Amino acid sequence: MLLKNKSQLFFIAILVLVLVLVAWFTYNIYIKNNGLNSDSSAYVALSDPSGTTYTDINGNPVDLSSYLDKVLVVNSWASWSPSSATDLQTLSDISQNYSSSEVVFLAINRGEPKERASAFLKINNINTDVMLVLDKNDVFYDSIDGFSMPETVIYNQSGDVLQHQRGNLDEFKLKSIIDSLVKS
């Protein structure tokens, strides 16, 4: 193809540059949404090198790495996320099907004060069968490369990430993953 002038060449160069940038951004969003660029080890997400102390909703210290020998389901939530109430209730309902010696369910709040998190739970009548954890510095969400709300991560007994669900929980999928881990 013969270009008639420099303006056509410039236009084509700009068009190619835009297409390359769009492809790059699309690829990066795909990678982030599918958790392909994050470390798959629970030890990274659940052990905080910055020294942050996690506490339960009552203010007692919680060492998240102490649960790494069990199937671990961790939901990151916040009171400002409308989907969090639904996910927390779903998590609580599912947790009643498993013993705490096999599966541990944690709901980690994203940096909100205890009062706000507690009020949210009370207003939404959330059952507290799930261990509610406060993360005052939002370290856990950052460590899993959080992208949406809520997010749920399922770890096997070795601490490997088996599923990183962004957005609302898929109850059927969650149960089938847990069942496959508990029976193995």
Give the model confidence (pLDDT) of 134-151 as tens digits. 988 888 888 888 888 888
Domain range for 162: 39-183
Q: Are 91 and 164 found together in one domain?
A: yes
- In-domain check, residue 1: no
Phi, psi values for residue 49, rounded to 5°: -70, -20
Contact 150, 84 (CB under 8 A): yes
Q: Are 88 and 151 found together in one domain?
A: yes
Residue type, 169: L
Q: Are 33 and 120 found together in one domain?
A: no
Segment 20-49 shows an average pLDDT of: 60
Is residue 100 pLDDT above 90, yes or no? no
**Please, which pLDDT band fits residue 127 given cuts at 50, 70 and 90?**
low
Give 69's DSSP letter: T
Half-sphere exposure (CA, 13 Å, Cβ side) for 28? 7
User: Across the chain, what does the average pLDDT equal?
Assistant: 80
Q: Are 72 and 113 found together in one domain?
A: yes
Q: Are 120 and 29 found together in one domain?
A: no
Segment 165-170 shows an average pLDDT of: 82
Q: Are 31 and 49 found together in one domain?
A: no
pLDDT the model gives residue 35: 45
Give the model confidence (pLDDT) of 81-92 as tens digits. 988 988 898 888
- In-domain check, residue 174: yes
- Taking the C-alpha atoms of residue 124 and residue 169, their distance in angstroms, rounded to an integer, is 17
Q: Are 66 and 21 found together in one domain?
A: no
Q: Are 96 and 12 found together in one domain?
A: no
pLDDT the model gives residue 37: 41
**CATH code for the domain of 151:** 3.40.30.10
Q: Taking the model in full, what pTM does it have? A: 0.72
- In-domain check, residue 2: no
pLDDT the model gives residue 116: 93
- In-domain check, residue 161: yes
Q: Are 20 and 58 found together in one domain?
A: no
Give the model confidence (pLDDT) of 65-81 as tens digits. 788 788 999 999 999 99
- In-domain check, residue 160: yes
pLDDT the model gives residue 36: 41
Q: Are 55 and 65 found together in one domain?
A: yes
Q: Are 90 and 138 found together in one domain?
A: yes
Segment 118-130 shows an average pLDDT of: 83
Question: H or E element: which one contains 162?
Answer: strand 161-166
**Total tally of structural domains belonging to the chain:** 2
Is residue 6 pLDDT above 60, yes or no? yes
How many angstroms from the chain centroid is the CA of residue 127? 20
Contact 98, 182 (CB under 8 A): yes
Q: Are 75 and 29 found together in one domain?
A: no
